[in-house]
Structure 1
Amino acid sequence: MKTITIEKTKSIQHLKFTIPQSHGVYLLVGANGSGKTTLLVCLERICNPNGFARGFSASKSFEAVDQYKNSSIKYEMDDPPICLLFRKKTARWAVSPKGKSGLLCYFGFSSSVFIKADSNRINITEDEIRTGTFEPADAQIKQVLNELFETNKFTNLKRLKNSNGRGRTTRYFYVIREGADQYYSEKRFSTGELALLRLVEKISNVESNALVLIDEAEMALHPRVQKRLLDYLKRIATEKHITVFISTHSITMIKATPKSNILLLESEGRGRYHITTPCYPAKAIGSVDYMDNVIYDAVFFVEDDMARLLFKKMLKVCCEVDRRFSTITNCIIPVGGYEQTSLLAINTNTQLLGKSYVCAVLDADVFSEALQTNKKMQKIYEMHQSIIFNLGCTPEIWMIEKLENGDVQVLTALRERFHYEVTTVIHSYEYLSCNSSKPRKLAKQKMDVVIKQFSEACGDSREIVLDAFAQILIDKAYSIGQIRAIVAPILANVT
């Protein structure tokens, strides 16, 4: 395990960050001032000895401003065992043990690239463009820019070489051929085009196993371009085995990222933060822009994707048979554990100030088990019973019970839909090998096997199979009266 512990540095009083073990693209998400850029600076220091000097600028003439005399940043890893502590000493950051900062090479990154959210990203030089030599632009850069902007104009991208005289740095300008002898330069590029040109230029040259850090990758980009940029970064991360960290407020990027790759910086108060991961995209979005993006009559928080799927279908049934609720717009958001789900509903309800009705719909085992043993949850429920409701089942356990009990209607419907027998699955070695001692986890294991084998047998994706399973179980195992008994009391609160 490799960790960075940041103490008393800028807005962070305390944050311990565990570096992911796998290559890929990771989003750093959090409210403004939560320390995302500070964390990127600390990550850059792994490969760049000047990372702190460049990232943590301090006032030289006024000691009371922007100083780091109480700051400390600690890097630790298990194998080989390393512990390096950096503190600010006068003009530089000193490491303890002394002279050992080179040990950061053991953290496994070959180099680092830090693309900051500053003027250099969109800078247009004031230098005059003069007659010079045209050189071809990198073919990969042209291809990527065409792909990101859905155009072919960058096919004509070239570099114009302007020599500045003996002993002076040669200046290159990007230009695009507009006609036989006509060009327009980067000085006429849009802000978004400039930002991506600089970004792609840097990333195209990164070596294998590098660390790429991007602050506010969405800067000046349309949401469609943001999504394509994210796809490009994922592809490069796979091809070059690099690790990419992006600090972002982009809802588009968050929605397109799996929960295992979202790192949410959450405040514990007084400058103390922790990282929540895996983190559902909806929860991450709630931390950055929730109030501006909720336009629903009702917002329902549930524990996981399975609960979301079932509750969505139950809502549809109830709204179809009870016209009082037919026009209600709603959003169902999977969060995680039942405590997290409850607390997020409570906090969001406070933030929205009645703009939307907000509640938590929890799995049935919370009410049959957790409320009997978990004192914290008991207190939460006692204080907020009006917005915490029972889903009526624990989805995976309920589904597996219906399959193993041989419900004729359910089995027949599944056979007709998929031309495959449930009994074949539940008597398979893979299914019988599921052995968790916890009922809910055991049911999840079994359900994974069921969906996997049905998907392989019929050729449909797992998502399609799961959706069909849920629909059949709702249609055959629940009566309309049972669904209304669960859902109508919740919808009755929507005004």
Structure 2
Amino acid sequence: MARKKTNPNRDRNSIDSLDLTVEHNFPKFLKAIKLEPFRHIPSLTVNFNHPISVISGTNRSGKSTILMAIACSHFNFVKRNPQNGNLGRHTWSSLMQITNKDVQSEDWTYYITYKTGTKIETKRGQRKHSTKKWNGIGKKESQFKFRDVVFIDLDRILPARNYSKVIFNKTKSANEYTISPNNSNIIEEYLSYVLEESFELNKLATYQDKDIFKYKNSNQYSSYNAATGEEVLTRIIIDVVEANKDSLILIDEIEIGLHPKVQRRLIEVLYNIALNDNKQFILSSHSQTILSSVPDTARIFIEKDYSNNFKSIQNISVNAALSKMDSVSYPLIDLYCEDDIAEKIIKKILSNLQTNNNLSNISDLVNIIISGSANKTHNYFTSHKETYEYKKIKTGFACILDGDMKTTFPQEENLFHLYSNKSPELFLAEKYQEINPNGTLEYHINNSDNHCVIFPKNRII
């Protein structure tokens, strides 16, 4: 079957709508990992519900630990040796080097669950506290052997031009050669797509685990004069394309060195690769662009509380994830109301909720939008509801109308009304009049426009 060209809408719709419980949809699919306990994490379960999963969380939340545990549980985890440049199997001992200053006080245990066709299987890996030895899927005899794994680590961000004079001297007189025996055209196509310019790419030299490339577009230059982000992107695309079909690709902090637009177009490339090659991706990221480039089902947030308890939040919204990672909260809900009186009442409600339930920053998570008349407020709410699915960064939506609008706009999902069947101005004025009788106020309650009864510009009361 001919390889499908990158088509963002088609690729996204095809991948996002896949039912992964069906045998032939990604027949090799890593479903979950459970740490119980492992390193600094007492207990944590993470489920993967999408072919391109993005894990976010604060530093030391366990993102890199999860990627390492997954990689080291596969027999065919091959990576270039940074010392000699040779491809070789990597194991726990090469990724996690432990000195006498690194204390392990208990057994480290983890479980990985796989779907292979119709079969669901969970296997255990462990590092014993007493012997400091790995067993189960942490040891080669029991590792998963049916799938290749590529782990693209942060070492990719060190440009080869800053690495060694040896590779520079090799490059000066080198003859260029093809970037890949079988995939050069695909690599060039993806690089051109992301950077929106036609590229030809060849290799000039290799030293240890570093490569020097020759780029040709409207100009011609080597890695020594390429942008750092360009080099990072090239390395990611080559490693991902060169991986065998059905491979599992792990990328730590995929956004490092990449402009937001490049990040988004790179995710579009990963969608196309997943569609063509059945490659599963598990990424870690702090990037708003990366998080907003995948659906809710693909997002996972790892949260650690002050008691050192860890939990994963599946299907998290972009703004919720950003709020948890930042010192500034990002609104989760746009709440439409009619006027400043309604806004004051809503803010008081939120304040009481925060105090009574021992919550923090709840007011920062609700963006109150004063919209004017009830008709206009309801129209804004309806427009938000109808366009919600098409928003790149989604925020929830709700509407609170005045009590006298219950008949005109009956309650529906996310549409509410302030207490009573009257406008808040009239309701509050009547309650005040019951306790503090006043002839002038009574006149205005009976004869003036509701919105002029309380807090008007001319200060009737």
TM-score by length of 1: 0.56
User: Do the aligned partners of residues 271 and 245 (structure 1) sit closer, same or farther apart at CA in structure 2, a change above 3 Å counting?
Assistant: same
Q: For the Cα contact (< 8 Å) 1:13–1:270, is it kept in 2?
A: no
- Aligned position for 1:151: 197
CA distance in 2, matches of 1:483, 1:198: 52
Q: Secondary structure in 2 aligned to 1:204?
A: helix
* 2: CA distance, partners of 1:170 / 1:76: 30
1:478 aligns with 2:409: yes
Task: Describe the shift of the 1:96–1:141 C-alpha distance in structure 2 as closer, same or farther (beyond 3 A).
Answer: closer
Determine if contact 1:84/1:100 at 8 Å carries over to the other structure. Answer: no
Secondary structure at the residue paired with 2:173? coil
* CA contact 2:288–2:322 (8 Å) conserved in 1: yes
Q: Give the counterpart letter for 2:55 in structure 1.
A: L
Residue aligning to 2:254? 217
2:215 aligned residue: 176
User: Does structure 1 residue 140 correspond to structure 2 residue 186?
Assistant: yes
Q: Which structure 2 segments of 5+ residues have no match? A: 1-29, 78-88, 348-352, 369-381, 392-397, 426-461
Q: Find the structure with the greater CA-based Rg.
A: 2
Give the partner amino acid of 1:18. Answer: N
Confirm or deny: 8 A CA contact 2:157 2:228 kept in the other structure: no
Amino acid at match of 1:173: I
Are the counterparts in 2 of residues 14 and 271 from structure 1 also a CA contact under 8 Å? no
More helix by proportion, 1 or 2? Answer: 1
Distance 1:276 1:130, change over 3 A: same
- Superposition RMSD on alpha carbons, in Å? 4.6
**Pair 178,276 (structure 1): closer, same or farther in 2 beyond 3 Å:** closer
Asked whether the 8 Å contact 1:257–1:281 carries over to 2, the reply is no
Q: Is the 8 A contact 2:160 2:210 kept in 1?
A: no
Distance of 2:310 and 2:224 partners within structure 1: 42
Provide the rounded CA distance (Å) in 2 between the counterparts of 1:265 and 1:58: 25
Amino acid aligned to 1:160 = L
Q: Which amino acid aligns with 1:131?
A: S
Of 134, 144, 148, which aligns to 1:94?
134
1:217 Cα offset (Å): 0.4
TM-score normalized by structure 2? 0.59
Q: Secondary structure at the match of 1:118?
A: helix
Q: Partner of 2:152 in structure 1?
A: 115
Assess if the C-alpha contact under 8 Å between 2:52 and 2:271 holds in 1: yes
Please give the per-residue CA displacement for 1:278-309, whole angstroms capped at 9, x wherever unaligned.
Answer: 22222112122351x74xxxx4x55xxxxx6x
Task: Describe the shift of the 1:178–1:74 C-alpha distance in structure 2 as closer, same or farther (beyond 3 A).
Answer: closer
- State the SS of the aligned residue for 1:12: coil
Q: Does 1:346 align with 2:359?
A: yes
Q: Number of matched residues?
A: 332
Give how far 1:15 is off.
1.6
Q: Is the 8 A contact 1:2 1:75 kept in 2?
A: no
Give the superposition deviation at 1:242: 1.6
Note the alpha carbon deviations across 1:208-228, whole angstroms, 9 max, x for none. Answer: 221111111000111111111
| Structure 2 equivalent of residue 4 of structure 1 | 33
Distance in 2 of aligned mates of 1:27 and 1:170: 27
What residue number does 2:238 align with?
201
Counterpart amino acid of residue 361 in structure 2: T
Structure 1, unpaired ranges of 5+: 303-307, 331-338, 350-355, 362-413, 415-450, 452-459, 465-469, 490-495
Which position in structure 1 is the counterpart of 2:14?
Answer: none
Q: Which AA in structure 2 matches 1:36? A: K
> Aligned in 2, Cα 1:8/1:98: closer, same or farther, shift over 3 Å?
closer
Matched, 1:45 2:72: yes
1:252: Cα distance to partner? 1.2
